[in-house]
Chains A and B, each alone.
Chain A
Amino acid sequence: MTTEDTTDRRKRLDGLCKRISSADSKNDLIDAIDDALGVSAPAGDHATLESLAKRYRGQCDDAGHVRDRVDKVARKGLPEVWVGKTSVLASDVVAAASRDAQQMSDAFEGGAKALLKLADSVKSAQDQDRDGRSKLRQARTTLGGKDGFFDDWYEDDDEESTRLKARSVASAGVDLLLKAAVAADDAARAAARDLNKWASEARAGKLDADGLTAADRLALADTSNPDGDPEMNEILSANDLERSGRAMDRLSAADRARMDHLMANASTPQEKAYILKALASGYSVDDVEKFDGKIHGKDPAWLEDHLAPVTTQTDSLTDEGKNTNGSNRNTDDQTFGNQRWSQDAATCVPSSTVTARAMVDPVYALQLTGGPTGQDADPAHFRKRLHDEQYRMHEEGDGDYTHFWSDTPAGMDSDGQVDISNKELSPHTGDHYESHDMNGADDRRDVLTDIEKSVAEGKPVPINVEGHEKNGDWVGHGMMIVGQEGDKLQVYNPWGTTTWVSEDDFVKGDLSGACDNRFDNVNRVYIDQN
């Protein structure tokens, strides 16, 4: 399925609706009807989709039985036994296995639902498209053959009446084709979003490193920070799991033994997950060892404070309405002590990049929160380091200053943003960042599937929004999409908060909920668009 095709079909049919309803000659109307009939019908075989959905449902039942059996084992009261190459508690593994089986069951159930919904939508869109084509053919038959060159110059009353009747029927027909194309396109995108999400949540299998046991993989993939909803605060993203597996396999035997030793000696599952995240982020075993020297023995709350810039609270998805400035009432403050992960001066672009890097690179996060030793817990010192880093990145991206001789940042252009994204994020996510201008809802709809996939894998997506001050002056702001659930996107604003906005609002370009009502257009997205 190529998203460009469905978007193009929508665009072409939208244009043809206008051409047909305004065709003021027989020949123009015939050409427009022929063009509409030349647009392909919505693709997809609903019977195949339904049968696939049934197979998923069957797997869902099997996964449910597995979960029930694992739960029985858990209830028996396991002795304190350490298992796996990285030494995890057997009881933790059983608990993780139960959750994993539940997630697997949920994933099959969710996948089946997504496919069934798609099957229904495809069938209904194809029926609608067929009705539309029938009307177009009827109109085309009414019109007969095309007029010759001179005939086309004059239209008598009868001919005009015939053309207007045919135009009315053809307009109804092409409207049906457009509605069918929109419904099929929306359904395909919703199914892609849900299936991508479920695929990214099949997490344990992504950690494909030789020598790690199933127990290790389950426990690592299942480990979350202590605050908020565990499923929205997992330490290792799908991308981390994949990258760490590949990194482990590339290590020399000696380095692999050192990594195994570090992980086996970790004092909590969270410490172990952060050690692996550091490796996934691209650091050498020497660096990972130094990093572990700073976090070893710290409790999960300390690790979360110092290494997770963004925590998603359990009630974060609740819609509490909007403030009078258009911002969402329900936002999560992202803080270290009494200081927010917020921008200083006009540095929204580098500041959101600093936070995004800290989300994917725990070694960097600790340098900011804990300083060179990792042990500095003073939030004021964190603020100073965060400020310095925002300004360093502003300089790196060749950002503007208020005056030639000023040190006060005054924004950054898209070249600078691409530059710092590729320098600061790419080494730790493996993605390449390109700037994409968003020239309307179609462009944003088009990029949405790539955004969903990227953030589901744990890779933040930089975006720009724009709007106007009351006096008409242009103003732009840089933010980061960092999560996705259902039909909502989680946005980090370098004003120090995260919140959720609907995908519909994103397509419309309205991200006022994540900032304020000046910003009514998402004008740029930075992503490696597939």
Chain B
Amino acid sequence: MRTSTVARRLAASALLPLTLTGCGLFGGGGQHEYGAQQRAIKVRKGAKFTLSLPASPALAEHWYLADPWPNGRVLKYRGKREDIHGSPKGVTGGGEGTEYFDFTARKKGRTTLKLLHCPMARCSSATEAAASASPVPTATGTPDDNAAYFVYTVTVR
């Protein structure tokens, strides 16, 4: 059944107050999740935090931790997880996903961490991208359809 864009927008406006209420209830709890846009992060010593990044299966989108790795005395890298959902069989091009990089703030200080964004099969590992003849640029904006490094600065207080 076709649902027009207008109908979906109306439904979205009707749901907006509820969504905002939800944000007020749970947002203050400090999930310590950061996306691709917020690349200056301040956390307290001992806190756990996660970089949560879009990994659309339709766009073959993947993220990799790249060299140089964050200072191990400041941050502990706990590993990468992913939550990928395909689409219903027969619906071509759908699906949603997120990749998570988990860290613990170990000691006061500042370090950078570098993630490689590989959309649309433009790269398939940090090692391969580093060895590539065409250097991968550092992103200044949001993730797009080019391979790029996203450099985060993490300050542990």
Residue ranges of A at the interface with B (Cβ–Cβ < 8 Å)? 323-325, 327, 340, 342-343, 345-349, 395, 398, 400-402, 404-407, 409-414, 417, 464, 466, 468-471, 473-478, 493, 495-497, 515-516, 518
Contact = CB atoms under 8 A, between A and B. Distances in A.
Given A401-B3, A515-B60, A407 B94 contact: no
Given A345-B59, A413-B92, 17 more contacts: A323-B124, A327-B121, A327-B124, A345-B56, A346-B56, A346-B94, A400-B94, A404-B11, A410-B95, A464-B92, A474-B87, A475-B57, A476-B90, A478-B93, A495-B59, A515-B60, A516-B121
Given A495-B59, A495-B145, A407 B8 contact: yes
Interface of B: 2-3, 5, 8-9, 11-12, 14-15, 56-60, 84-96, 119-125, 128, 145
B91 A400 contact: yes
A91 to B, nearest CB: 40
A335 to B, nearest CB: 11
Interface secondary structure of B, over-half rule: loop
A469 B57 contact: yes
Given A495-B120, A495-B145, A469 B91 contact: no
A345 B95 CA distance: 10
A-B pairs, 10 with minimum CB distance: A411-B94, A473-B86, A495-B120, A325-B124, A476-B92, A405-B11, A348-B93, A346-B58, A405-B12, A411-B91
21 contacts: A323-B124, A325-B121, A345-B59, A346-B58, A346-B94, A398-B2, A400-B91, A401-B3, A405-B8, A407-B5, A410-B93, A411-B93, A412-B93, A473-B57, A475-B57, A475-B58, A475-B86, A477-B92, A495-B145, A515-B60, A516-B60
Given A495-B120, A495-B121, A473 B94 contact: no
Contact of B93 (A346, A471, A496): A346
A94 B122 CA distance: 44
A476 B145 contact: no
Nearest to A464: B92
Contacts of A469: 57, 84, 86, 95
Given A395-B5, A495-B59, A348 B145 contact: no
Nearest to B119: A495
A404 B5 contact: no
Given A348-B93, A395-B5, A411-B95, A495 B60 contact: yes
Nearest to A339: B145
A349 B3 CA distance: 19
A268 B14 CA distance: 57
A299 B109 CA distance: 58
A518 B117 CA distance: 18
Given A323-B121, A345-B58, A496-B120, A475 B145 contact: no
A346 B87 CA distance: 10
A476 B9 contact: no
A473 B93 contact: no
A348 B58 contact: yes
Contacts of A348: 58, 92-93
Contacts of A406: 8, 12
B92 A478 contact: yes
B121 A468 contact: no
Given A327-B121, A342-B120, A515-B121, A474 B89 contact: yes
A414, A470, A477, A478: residue with the most chain B Cβ atoms closer than 10 Å? A477
B117 to A, nearest CB: 14
B121 A474 contact: no
A465 to B, nearest CB: 9
Contacts of B93: 346-349, 409-412, 476-478
Given A324-B124, A340-B145, A346-B58, A413 B95 contact: no
A349 B11 CA distance: 26
B2 A476 contact: no
A473 B85 contact: yes
A518 B62 CA distance: 13
Contacts of A518: 57, 60
A410 B5 contact: no
A157 B35 CA distance: 77
